[in-house]
Structure 1
């Protein structure tokens, strides 16, 4: 895949744990501009298959060797570089991500745009429609609830928000009600499923992972 596709594949994970479970290494071809390069994201199963020896005496998956690819960065490290860049500049372009990756690969250090080391970027206000970290985030709210479902909705809300049923009941009678702000994809699925079982669909607002993705892209 190309660089954009590789970044989007990592950003499509739910969170760091999901990424660790899906991907192991990022391989790339030697030479050339990073933004024009070709990549292969290996999973744990790829790494466990019988490897072949590369030109430097190391071991790589047969698929990577077949396509002339070499170790570039561990997938988790690759994602960390993207995350640090995005934290400093939420609307980063493909070219800016490429520059951050090149800097890390050559210098073994994150590219500091004047905010990372100082910690100033940690206090930046979140931007509407853009997630704070590498992965997409979601706001969920209950906008409508038929009177006959208020009791069930209150029980589900109390369990979800860890409040007492009386408080949940009051909230369910004064809609709309937030059930999660900037939650990850796994939390989104869990919350939506809980209320779908009650035939109570939730309104969802997506904060996309990458600025170039279209609004409301999951």
Structure 2
């Protein structure tokens, strides 16, 4: 068999497996990392020309301000870029700390929970699997492994990616690596469904200056 014909393999390590216990301590550690990364003077750096050229690289300040004022719950999150290989998104985060709370949010959003059978296997750390075999493992919710991640689903007739982690449920909209007017319209259609969960909304969904929110960019909410 030639190298080209071989099935690609994926080797998993402890770092690539989902964390089974996403606790408040985990979130505090992440918060500490963010503070160390961004520092106390990030508010000043927000107005650095190099940062602004990145933040407004795909959409102008006026465009982001318009979206900010039109959306009540979803927030535009600019990609980190580079080796992160991420993209721009619209995000909303809903607090859900227990399995019962996750299931209650699923019910309100019209998401049918998928229970993973106990006999379904899990990838073993350090073992190499052919790509197809690895992808066949259920994508479990780390905190609640008997439940599968919702992934792509439909809410209010709109396609949205739903992911549960760190005591929260995230709704994510994007067009590949970008956000367009189409995703903004989708967010506007979804938001009325989320109003009943208003007390559970975590704002900002990503607590750093990549997230266009009132905490970091309050002037964008002013009248143009």
Q: Normalised by the size of structure 2, how large is the TM-score?
A: 0.26
Greater helix fraction, Structure 1 or Structure 2: 1
Larger-Rg structure? 1
